[in-house]
């Protein structure tokens, strides 16, 4: 694949993503995306009164919210709509960036959705960049990963709504890219890695796993041929900007919510009275049925379950997606014997970078599991912090199958075999999304 072709393919992926995201932003009815009203009202508060709001009693009303979602936010029920503010504990960066859009457009929901979708384009490019840094001689895997990140239907739905997930994923993606680059070449500097992680801490708590992951890249890189002093200096250069940026928010939270509420989560948990708890579900149906519900709902909502989880996709789409994932897994398993000997010859840094991708995916799973220990949040979108690593593994599996088909199979076939998701996302936009309007 020539450089010109590669650039054309990634440009096409980004353009198609932007068109699809714009379609979802404009076609999904107002407020019919998870937690969108609460994120919108955070932006409104910042635009009107400055940063930063405080979560407090009254920001969450389970009965009122249930009535709103059941009635698709009917205008007759919006008398207390402005009181939906249960995201006020979130770190402020996304809302600070979105507040000028709010002011310039008079609070246009469509404009804020499109702004968030534009951030999502950066996530797609980050997926491509991570793949190129990881495997510079296999651009088809980077392109395949970018295609998967760009065209998962639910991912497009989330990126085209008002929330801080897109910015969190953007930070995670570029932090992973910087970590791989540093592991392989020593650049960018530990200081810049610390800045990226600090920005993540000002964006969303879902980026927290970077605090443990990125220092490992520094440790392995600086530890190669370097003494303890060199390692300590590099880690200190990382820690100072990360802690300074994150510390600004943490000190604010201590002042507002008290010690030790570092992230404002204790204040949040005290406010969201009535939110379904996992322990309640286990008491009602047992652990086995709870696990079944977690697995089923998480899988479906990862790929597509629109609105406030009320609109599942047609059953055949989940079967098609399952078949696609099975093929990717078969391809990955096929790599084991074929690459067994070659793995020993793989550059140490590349092997460690792949291990880092696996660790990032596992840490995202661990964060999801930890959250669900308390609340019933069986939503696949909470796994999106690990989407880029997952996409890289899936693209590697599909590429392995491509190579097995025939030695002459063009490498552009890898992103093409993943790009079918774009057609599915378009189909769902026109045939399924209208169902959100009742």
Contacts (Cβ under 8 Å, ≥6 apart) of 109? 30, 31, 40, 162
Given this model, what pLDDT does residue 143 score?
98
Distance from chain centroid for Cα 274: 27
Number of domains in the chain: 1
Structure tokens at 18: 């932007």
Residue 114: how many other CB atoms lie within 10 Å: 18
Coil, strand, or helix at residue 375?
A: strand
Mean pLDDT by 10 residues, the chain (438 residues): 91 98 98 98 97 96 95 95 97 99 98 99 99 96 98 98 98 98 94 98 98 96 81 96 98 97 95 90 95 96 96 96 96 73 69 95 96 91 98 96 77 91 98 88
Crossing angle (nearest 10°) for helices 387-405 and 413-431: 120
Quote the domain boundaries for residue 308: 3-437
Burial class (CB in 10 A: 0-12, 13-18, 19+), 421: buried
Given this model, what pLDDT does residue 224 score?
76
Report the greatest alpha carbon distance in the chain: 69
Structure tokens at 17: 């993503």
Given this model, what pLDDT does residue 345 score?
60
Contact 392, 364 (CB under 8 A): no
Helices (H), 277-381: 278-285, 287-303, 306-309, 315-345, 348-372
Terminal C-alpha separation, the chain? 47
DSSP 229-273: HHHHHHHHHHHHHHHHHHHHHHHHHHHHH-TT-SSSHHHHHHH-T
Using the Cα atoms of residue 163, residue 165, residue 168 and residue 174 in order, give the sign of their dihedral: negative
Given this model, what pLDDT does residue 344 score?
57
d(Cα 323, Cα 335) in Å, to the nearest integer? Answer: 19
305: part of which helix (H) or strand (E)? strand 305-305
Contact 209, 360 (CB under 8 A): yes
Q: Convert the pLDDT of each residue in 361-379 to its tens digit.
A: 999 999 999 999 988 889 9
């Amino acid at each position: 694949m020539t450089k010109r072709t590669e650039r054309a393919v990634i440009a096409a992926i980004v353009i198609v993503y932007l068109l699809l995201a714009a379609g979802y932003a404009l076609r999904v009815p107002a407020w019919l995306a998870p937690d969108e009203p609460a994120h919108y009202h955070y932006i409104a508060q910042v635009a009107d009164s400055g940063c930063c709001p405080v979560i407090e009693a009254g920001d969450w009303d389970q009965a009122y919210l249930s009535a709103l979602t059941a009635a698709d936010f009917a205008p007759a029920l919006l008398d207390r709509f402005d009181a939906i503010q249960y995201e006020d504990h979130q770190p402020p960066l996304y809302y600070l960036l979105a507040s000028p859009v709010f002011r310039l457009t008079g609070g246009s929901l469509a404009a804020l959705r499109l702004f968030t979708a534009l951030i999502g384009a950066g996530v797609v490019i980050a997926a491509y960049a991570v793949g190129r840094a990881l495997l510079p001689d296999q651009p088809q895997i980077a392109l395949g990963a970018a295609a998967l990140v760009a065209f998962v239907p639910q991912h497009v739905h989330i990126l085209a709504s008002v929330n801080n997930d897109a910015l969190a994923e953007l930070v995670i993606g570029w932090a992973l890219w910087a970590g791989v680059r540093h592991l392989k070449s020593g650049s960018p500097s530990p200081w810049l890695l610390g800045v990226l992680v600090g920005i993540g801490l000002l964006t969303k708590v879902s980026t927290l796993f970077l605090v443990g992951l990125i220092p490992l890249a520094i440790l392995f890189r600086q530890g190669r041929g370097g003494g303890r002093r060199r390692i300590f200096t590099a880690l200190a250069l990382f820690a100072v900007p990360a802690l300074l940026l994150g510390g600004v928010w943490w000190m604010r939270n201590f002042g507002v919510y008290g010690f030790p509420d570092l992230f404002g989560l204790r204040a949040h948990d005290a406010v969201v009275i009535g939110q379904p708890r996992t322990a309640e579900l286990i008491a009602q149906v047992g652990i086995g049925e709870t696990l079944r519900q977690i697995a089923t709902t998480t899988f479906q909502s990862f790929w597509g379950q629109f609105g406030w989880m009320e609109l599942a996709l047609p059953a055949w789409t989940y079967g098609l997606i399952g078949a696609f994932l099975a093929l990717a897994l078969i391809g990955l398993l096929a790599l084991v014997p074929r690459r067994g000997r070659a793995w020993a010859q793989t550059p140490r840094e590349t092997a460690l970078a792949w291990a880092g991708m696996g660790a990032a995916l596992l840490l995202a799973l661990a964060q999801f599991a930890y959250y669900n220990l308390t609340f019933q949040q069986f939503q696949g979108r909470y796994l999106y912090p690990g989407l880029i690593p997952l996409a890289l593994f899936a693209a590697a599996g599909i590429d392995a199958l491509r190579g097995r088909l025939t030695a002459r199979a063009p490498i552009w076939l890898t992103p093409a075999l993943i790009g079918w998701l774009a057609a599915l996302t378009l189909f769902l936009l026109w045939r399924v999304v209208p169902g959100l309007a009742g």
